[in-house]
Amino acid sequence: MAQRDETQGGPEAGPAAFFRAQHAAFAATLGAHAASAELLDRIWMQAFSSYEHNVAEQTGGLPPLACRKGCGTCCRILVVATAPEVLMVARYIRGMAAGFRTMGIDLPARLAATPDAPAGASGTMALGHDCPFLVEGICVIYPVRPLACRGHASFDADACIAALEGEADEVPVSEPHRTVRALVQGALQSALRDAGAPWGLYDLVAALKIALARPDAEAGFAAGCDVLHPALVDHVSREEMGRTFDRLKG
């Protein structure tokens, strides 16, 4: 799969080469802005802009997606996210909460009322509840939605409904969306790991509850503290993930 990393300015042939280019770009940002108040913004924007750019390049000629505004069928899947993603969503909620309340939408209350993912949840459509940010089929944090949400794209809405109801095991998803998301997110985790920063994946709901309850969450992350650790998801051991990242870096 040919990928191009816009932060590097040249073509990269193959997933491993793309991962290495992404890792190097994230590492450079972390090194250059380690003590900067802009670090979180820069890392977040770099991850999302690289994802969107490369997905656009990889999906030319594919059938149209079934995903559309008002369809929230997949919004019952366990969503895991890196610390920068969680912290940016928390910042968005803080900034937008008052405005949403004027429309009768209490984001902090909706989040507080949503249970954390059950132990052993694997990302299937079996959490038993909707995402707290799904309001009348619309994602109210759409501008800052995590990479996991961006990377889940289906070609068949009926198949998504069947999977939600337990009547199907497979959904025809866009492999470029899924692959680019995994590579960008993995490269970000790898660069965070090498920089001594929190690099795990967290249950979005549980992690946001922590971040919103701690005004110092962003400062803690910048200082290298894993303030979101209670929400850590460990479907794959950190040791195994680390070995995979090291192999991909070559």
Q: How far, in Å, CA of 123 to CA of 43, rounded? A: 25
Contact of 51 with 3, CB cutoff 8 Å: no
Please name every residue paired with 5 in a beta bridge, in sequence order, or none if there are none. 10
SS3 assignment, position 219: helix
What's the confidence (pLDDT) of residue 61?
Answer: 79
Distance CA 114, CA 46 (A): 30
Q: How many CA atoms lie within 13 A of 206 on its CB side?
A: 19
pLDDT value, residue 153: 74
CB 130 within 8 A of CB 75: yes
> Tell me, what's the pLDDT at 116?
82
Structure tokens, 155: 């070609």
Phi, psi dihedrals of residue 29, rounded to the nearest 5°: -65, -45
pLDDT at 230: 95
Q: Which of 186, 74, 173, 80 is nearest to 130 (CA)?
A: 74
How is the chain split into domains, by residue range?
2-249
* pLDDT at residue number 229: 96
Q: Which amino acid is at 63?
A: P
Q: Token pair for residue 40?
A: 């979180």
Identify the pLDDT of residue 12: 46
Instruction: Identify which of 143, 144, 150 has the alpha carbon closest to the alpha carbon of residue 211.
Output: 144
Region 72-80: mean pLDDT is 79
In whole angstroms, what is the distance from residue 100 CA to residue 34 CA? 33
* E strand segments, the chain: 2-5, 10-13, 80-81, 134-135, 138-139, 202-203
Name the residue with higher pLDDT: 237 or 140: 140
Supply the mean pLDDT for the chain: 85
Instruction: Check whether 13 has a pLDDT greater than 90.
Output: no
- Between strands 10-13 and 80-81, the pairing is unpaired
AA identity, residue 65: L
pLDDT digits (tens, 9 = 90+) for 160-174: 666 666 666 677 777
Instruction: Give the span between the Cα atoms of 184 and 199, in whole angstroms.
Output: 13
> Where are the alpha helices (H) located in 59-167, listed in sequence order?
83-101, 107-112, 147-150, 157-164
pLDDT at residue 124, rounded to an integer: 47
User: What SS3 state is found at 229?
Assistant: helix
Residue 205 contacts residue 117 (beta carbons within 8 Å): yes
